[in-house]
């Protein structure tokens, strides 16, 4: 990526800025007693509305080994007329042409991730996403088979946890040659983990919209890989010490690609505070408010909401909890089950 004047001017935060931001965040958590219950507010990891976030990321491609693929990450300013937020544009071209170097046997990949976050007052700076269930990404995809990559402070430094970025426009290339269809993950000798399958789930069928959408990926679904190969034994993602987050393209389909990324964050579900921005940007593809987040997962709140829905003639269950009926009627209900 060739740095522009704008990119050079958007320098990443320095040591004192990182320390101040992290201390402010931890102070806010302690003051609000957020560590005593499941968080309902999102934890921003990479907010590309801020131009300095784009400057704090780096791109990788097979050009490092003599290949011909390209990778660029550019900042795109917001456009209020079309409700388009400021975002990062990950684009370039994939080529599977081999270089003259006989040692290189495979090319055709491109990726980006954030740079090392550096140090703060108490050592190396990591993201702690342990209290959260999902990694959320708001993207606008061209349908290619991107992969989300998370690297932690693990014993094996080259280990990466991966998950397919299934969007509503995800395309499964079923008419490719066996060589082109084979991604690095298919070298796994066994049943392919669902999180890395090329076949998208039924819920990702395109709805006709071509705009933004928010994708929720469960942290416990990420698959441990090393150099693109699924390894055993599988170990859980070390959520307390996340070093980097990025997106890669290894489908080995020649041609251009274009992925827009607005924001990447950790969450337990869409909250009421986020829904206005979600609907404004994503339109018909906006996610609904998560009922557990809205009620803070309390049984009393769930019971009240259950009564409202039953009064409207709807039957739903929340987190597997049901309102218990007291007295003889309740005893009869338990006996008849």
Separation CA 277–CA 264 (nearest Å) = 14
Q: So what's the pLDDT on residue 180?
A: 44
Which region among 4-8, 114-118, 205-209 has the lowest average model confidence (pLDDT)? 4-8
User: What radius of gyration do the chain's Cα atoms show?
Assistant: 22
Q: What residue spans of the chain are helical by DSSP H? A: 5-9, 15-31, 51-55, 178-181, 272-282, 291-295, 299-311, 327-336
**Burial readout 146-161 (b: 16 or more C-beta within 10 A, e: otherwise):** bbbbbbbebeeeebbb
Separation CA 86–CA 47 (nearest Å) = 9
N-terminal to C-terminal alpha carbon distance within the chain: 65
The angle subtended at Cα 255 by Cα 249 and Cα 257, nearest 5°, is 50
CATH 2.60.120.260 fits 5-297, yes or no: yes
Which pair of structure tokens corresponds to residue 215? Answer: 């994708």
Instruction: Please give the distance of CA 72 from its chain centroid, rounded to a whole number.
Output: 19
Q: Which residues does 181 contact at the CB level (< 8 Å), separation at least 6?
A: 173, 198
Q: So what's the pLDDT on residue 8?
A: 46
Q: So what's the pLDDT on residue 105?
A: 83
Q: Quick check: 68 and 125 in contact, CB under 8 A?
A: no
Mean pLDDT over 152-167 rounds to: 90
Instruction: Please give the distance of CA 85 from its chain centroid, rounded to a whole number.
Output: 18
Neighbours of 289 (CB within 10 A): 16
Q: What residue spans define the domains of the chain?
A: 5-297, 302-336
Which region among 108-117, 141-150, 306-315 has the lowest average model confidence (pLDDT)? 306-315
Instruction: Please give the distance of CA 58 from its chain centroid, rounded to a whole number.
Output: 17
Residue 91, pLDDT above cutoff 60 = yes
Please state the pTM of the whole predicted model: 0.74
Which region among 22-36, 37-51, 181-195, 283-297 has the lowest average model confidence (pLDDT)? 181-195
Instruction: Please give the distance of CA 170 from its chain centroid, rounded to a whole number.
Output: 15
Separation CA 320–CA 150 (nearest Å) = 31
Q: So what's the pLDDT on residue 95?
A: 94
Tokens 């009421």 belong to 272
Could you read off the pLDDT of 229-245 as tens digits, one per residue?
A: 898 888 889 999 999 99
Which region among 124-128, 215-219, 243-247, 323-327 has the lowest average model confidence (pLDDT)? 323-327
Q: Quick check: 224 and 235 in contact, CB under 8 A?
A: yes
Q: Which helix (H) or strand (E) covers residue 90, if one does? A: strand 87-94
Separation CA 47–CA 77 (nearest Å) = 13
Q: So what's the pLDDT on residue 1?
A: 43
Q: Is 11 helix (H, G, I), strand (E, B) or coil?
A: coil
Q: Which helix (H) or strand (E) covers residue 126, if one does? A: none
The C-alpha torsion from 174 through 178 and 183 to 189, rounded to 10°, is: 110
Phi, psi of 138 (to 5 degrees): -100, 115
β-bridge pairing 110-114 and 255-267: unpaired
């Amino acid at each position: 990526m060739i740095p522009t004047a704008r990119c050079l001017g958007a320098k990443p935060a320095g040591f004192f800025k990182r320390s101040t931001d992290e201390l402010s965040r931890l102070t806010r958590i302690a003051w609000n007693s957020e560590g005593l219950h499941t968080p309902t507010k999102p934890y921003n990891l990479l907010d590309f509305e801020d131009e300095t976030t784009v400057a704090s990321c780096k791109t990788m491609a097979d050009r490092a080994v003599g290949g011909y693929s390209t990778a660029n990450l550019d900042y795109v300013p917001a456009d209020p007329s079309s409700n388009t937020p400021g975002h990062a544009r990950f684009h370039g071209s994939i080529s599977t042409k081999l270089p003259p170097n006989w040692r290189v046997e495979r090319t055709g990949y491109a990726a980006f991730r954030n740079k090392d976050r550096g140090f703060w007052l108490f050592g190396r700076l990591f993201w702690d996403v342990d209290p959260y269930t999902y990694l959320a990404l708001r993207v606008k995809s061209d349908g290619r088979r991107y992969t989300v990559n998370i690297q932690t402070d693990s014993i094996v430094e080259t280990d990466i946890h991966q998950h397919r970025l299934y969007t509503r426009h995800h395309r499964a290339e079923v008419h490719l040659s066996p060589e082109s269809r084979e991604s690095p993950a298919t070298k796994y000798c066994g049943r392919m983990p669902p999180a890395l399958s090329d076949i998208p789930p039924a819920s990702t069928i395109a709805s006709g919209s071509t705009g933004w959408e928010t994708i929720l990926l469960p942290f416990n679904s990420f698959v441990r890989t090393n150099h693109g190969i699924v390894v055993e034994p599988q170990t859980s993602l070390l959520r307390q010490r996340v070093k980097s987050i990025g997106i890669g393209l290894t489908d080995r389909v020649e041609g251009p690609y274009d992925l827009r990324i607005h924001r990447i964050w950790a969450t337990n579900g869409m909250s009421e505070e986020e829904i206005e921005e979600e609907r404004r940007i994503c339109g018909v593809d906006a996610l609904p408010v998560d009922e557990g987040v809205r009620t803070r997962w309390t049984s009393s709140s769930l019971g009240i909401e259950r009564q409202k829905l039953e009064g409207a003639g709807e039957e739903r269950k929340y987190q597997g909890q049901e309102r218990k009926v007291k007295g003889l009627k309740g005893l009869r209900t338990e006996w008849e089950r």
